[in-house]
């Protein structure tokens, strides 16, 4: 994209289109953009420094995104939005150095599993917003993911990061969503929250979300005295926490006793230390420092990568170390 062209690949209103085995980088908008598509497959893609989204599926159904890498997007590397009964699967992806590792606005019926979210502003963020139809976000399942060190604050602004702040240093955030499930994930080394449930930026309430059997560690990684492994500000109802393995504080204290899943239904009790922190984080978008993220260390030469000239003959080791067998560039 040379930081000039808007989108790398656009699939609009089509069925059964697969995009695979390529690198898409440095577009001002999106690397790969599916709009009003059906039965789509995206696999073995490197989406690098596409300014808004790396891989973006909007109003699209029956999709699979797998075995892919996303880096350096000002909104999110991977996004599924505005679909009711999306029937979408994201698996075995790596998402690093983005504002959000995953964002899913008003998407119902998405499974995210077996993936790594690391060094983003926040890791996995299904969400509800009025900017798209078919809200609220419902029925996102997060299973067996590693969510690590998502404390990155300086991505250049694009998309969501131009207008809305976030509680940086959050692993999994459920803002204003319903019937989402986080189960068997590893969530470590965040400076604010391991797993957080709050209203959306537009005050949609979180309802009936389940946080079960996750491993959470070190949610005050900056050691400033504020950080919760598990947190709910008390808005909404029936958000439950059971069987999680954690060592740090929870907000409120004894969250698994107060809001155990077997005790549903229940209303939330306001917990101001969490609601005040998130409320203060949301308006700070205009004041943050912005800095170009580093180039990713990918295992092969890629067309368009600085310092990479595919016109020259390369040493065989460039190809022998390729992550994707049979990848074409």
Is this structure's pTM higher than 0.85?
Answer: yes
Worst-scoring range by mean pLDDT, 66-75, 140-149, 240-249, 274-283?
274-283
Contacts of residue 287, defined as CB under 8 A and 6 or more positions apart, other chains included, come to: none
Residue 317 has pLDDT above 90, yes or no: no
* The token pair that represents 170 in the structure block: 């959050």
Q: How much of the chain is in helix, strand and coil states, percent to nearest 5?
A: 10, 40, 50
Per-residue confidence (pLDDT) for residue 292, from 0 to 100: 93
pLDDT over 70 percentage in the chain: 90
Quote the mean pLDDT of the chain: 92
- For 95-109, how does the pLDDT look when each residue is reduced to its tens digit (9 = 90+)? 999 999 999 999 999
pLDDT tens across 12-58, in order?
999 999 999 999 999 999 999 999 999 999 999 999 999 999 999 99
198 in Cβ contact with 175 (< 8 Å) = yes
Evaluated on CA atoms 161, 152, 82, 45, the torsion sign reads positive
């Amino acid at each position: 994209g040379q930081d000039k062209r808007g989108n790398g690949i656009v699939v609009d209103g089509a069925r059964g289109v697969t995009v695979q085995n390529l690198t898409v980088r440095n577009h001002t908008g999106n690397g790969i953009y599916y709009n009003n598509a059906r039965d789509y497959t995206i696999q073995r893609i490197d989406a690098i420094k596409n300014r808004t989204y790396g891989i973006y599926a909007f109003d699209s159904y029956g999709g699979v995104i797998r075995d892919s890498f996303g880096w350096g997007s000002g909104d999110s590397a991977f996004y599924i939005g505005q679909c009711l009964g999306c029937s979408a699967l994201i698996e075995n992806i790596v998402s690093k150095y983005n504002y959000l590792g995953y964002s899913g606005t008003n998407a119902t019926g998405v499974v995210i599993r077996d993936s790594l979210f690391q060094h983003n502003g926040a890791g996995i963020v299904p969400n509800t917003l009025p900017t798209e139809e078919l809200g609220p976000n419902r029925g996102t399942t997060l299973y067996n993911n590693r969510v690590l060190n998502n404390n990155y604050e300086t991505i250049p602004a694009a998309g969501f990061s131009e207008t809305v702040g976030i509680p940086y240093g959050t692993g999994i955030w459920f803002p204003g969503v319903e019937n989402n499930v986080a189960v068997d994930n590893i969530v470590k080394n965040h400076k604010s929250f391991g797993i957080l449930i709050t209203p959306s930026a537009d005050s949609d309430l979180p309802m009936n979300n389940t946080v079960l059997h996750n491993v959470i560690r070190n949610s005050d990684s900056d050691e400033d005295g504020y950080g919760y492994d598990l947190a709910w500000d008390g808005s909404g109802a029936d958000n439950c926490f059971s069987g999680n393995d954690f060592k740090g504080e929870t907000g409120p204290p004894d969250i698994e006793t107060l809001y155990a899943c077997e005790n549903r239904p229940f209303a939330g009790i306001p917990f101001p230390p969490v609601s005040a922190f998130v409320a203060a984080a949301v308006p700070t978008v205009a004041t943050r420092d912005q800095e170009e993220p580093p180039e990713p260390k990918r295992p092969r030469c890629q067309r368009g990568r600085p310092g990479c000239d595919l016109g020259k003959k390369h040493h065989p080791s460039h190809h022998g170390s390729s992550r994707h067998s049979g990848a074409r560039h």
